[in-house]
Structure 1
Amino acid sequence: MYVVGSFEHSLFVELVISEIEEAGVSQEQILAIPLDKRNEKPKLFDTAQYADGKSFLDLALVLGTIGMLLGAIYGFVLPLGPIIWALFGLVTGAWIGFIVKFIVIRRQANKQLQTGRGKTTEVVIMVNCPENRVKEIQHILWAHHAQAVGSLE
């Protein structure tokens, strides 16, 4: 029977391995795997194979519509007429919306990269033990601040 626990990389990993060995599990039956974090920056633009659900166009379309509406309204009193000012308002509002959304998404992506996307699992410990000792091993893992614990036959 396998018992698996995930931990943040800390002193608790060493303590839990020591306590499991003291509980009578041999060192050959314990496997600890450190995980690497992603170092590359997240992609800003979606492709056909990768889409994260963030859209640059929503704010651009809203501000473009507002700019077009204001351009058409005030175009009746401005020179060049309402159609030219409506098109100018559409393009200007769309660009402003696109740039604002681009800056916001880029800042969020950089913030997530710096913080490591919140609390992440950095070390996974797998213990091969008899079925009658599963509860004891799970208790040891939970007592040393495991983020998650599971078992598999």
Structure 2
Amino acid sequence: MQIFATFEYSQFLEIVITELEANGITGIYAVPLDLRKKEPRLLDSIHRADGMSFIDKGMILAFMFATVGASKGFVWTWGPVIWGLIGALVGFLTGVLISGIIYFAKRHRNQSQIKKGRKGEVVLVVTCKEEQASLVADILWDHKAIGLAKTK
């Protein structure tokens, strides 16, 4: 039986490996994962998206500002159509600007966390007998495993 577990690279991983070896389990394989070296792309393509959108807030604010501009346009000089279009443009640009500020603030915060020594994760593969599986799982969970999976 194989048990897969993920850990942050820390002293807990070393303690787990030592404790597993002390309990007679020798089939232990640890694989460190590399951290991302390149920044993700700013704009997504049609085939690859990360869920971050720059125009969602812009569209919502464009609708809201266009509604206000069109309603006030009945009183103002240029009329409701022109003021509705101006409101939509101002709202869209405001929303895109807000999304951009939020994106760059998050990116700056993430970069500073990586520079502060963010550690990668390690995948630990333990091969054991079925009767040892519950012992191995308990040891892994007790030492702060992020996730766990079992296969036969």
* Superposition TM-score tier, normalisation by shorter sequence: 0.7 to 0.9
- State the match for 2:17 in structure 1: 17
- State the match for 1:68 in structure 2: 66
Displacement of 1:33 in angstroms is 1.0
Q: Look up the SS of the partner of 1:25 in the other structure.
A: coil
Displacement of 1:110 in angstroms is 4.3
* Native 8 Å contact 2:34 2:120 kept in 1: no
One-letter amino acid of the structure 2 residue matched with residue 150 of structure 1: A
TM-score normalized with structure 1 length: 0.76
Which ranges of structure 1 fall in alignment gaps of 5 or more residues? none
Residues 38-96 of structure 1 show CA distances to partners (whole Å, capped at 9, x for unaligned) of 23323332211112333333322232233333333444444444433332222222211
- State the match for 1:89 in structure 2: 87
Q: Give the total of aligned pairs.
A: 149
Are residues 1:53 and 2:56 paired? no
- State the match for 2:124 in structure 1: 125
Which ranges of structure 2 fall in alignment gaps of 5 or more residues? none
* Native 8 Å contact 1:44 1:106 kept in 2: no
Displacement of 1:4 in angstroms is 2.2
Distance (Å, rounded) in 2 between the aligned partners of 1:101 and 1:76 = 31
Distance (Å, rounded) in 1 between the aligned partners of 2:28 and 2:14 = 12
Name which of structure 1's ranges 93-102 and 77-86 shifts more when overlaid on structure 2. 77-86
- State the match for 1:2 in structure 2: 2
Distance (Å, rounded) in 2 between the aligned partners of 1:25 and 1:73 = 74
TM-score normalized with structure 2 length: 0.76
- State the match for 2:147 in structure 1: 148
Name which of structure 1's ranges 138-147 and 74-83 shifts more when overlaid on structure 2. 74-83
Displacement of 1:109 in angstroms is 4.5
Q: Look up the SS of the partner of 1:51 in the other structure.
A: coil
* Native 8 Å contact 2:68 2:84 kept in 1: yes
Percent of aligned pairs with the same residue?
35
Q: Look up the SS of the partner of 2:125 in the other structure.
A: strand
Q: Look up the SS of the partner of 2:50 in the other structure.
A: coil
Distance (Å, rounded) in 1 between the aligned partners of 2:123 and 2:150 = 13
Q: Look up the SS of the partner of 2:41 in the other structure.
A: coil
- State the match for 1:102 in structure 2: 100
Q: Look up the SS of the partner of 2:52 in the other structure.
A: coil
Name which of structure 1's ranges 56-65 and 90-99 shifts more when overlaid on structure 2. 56-65
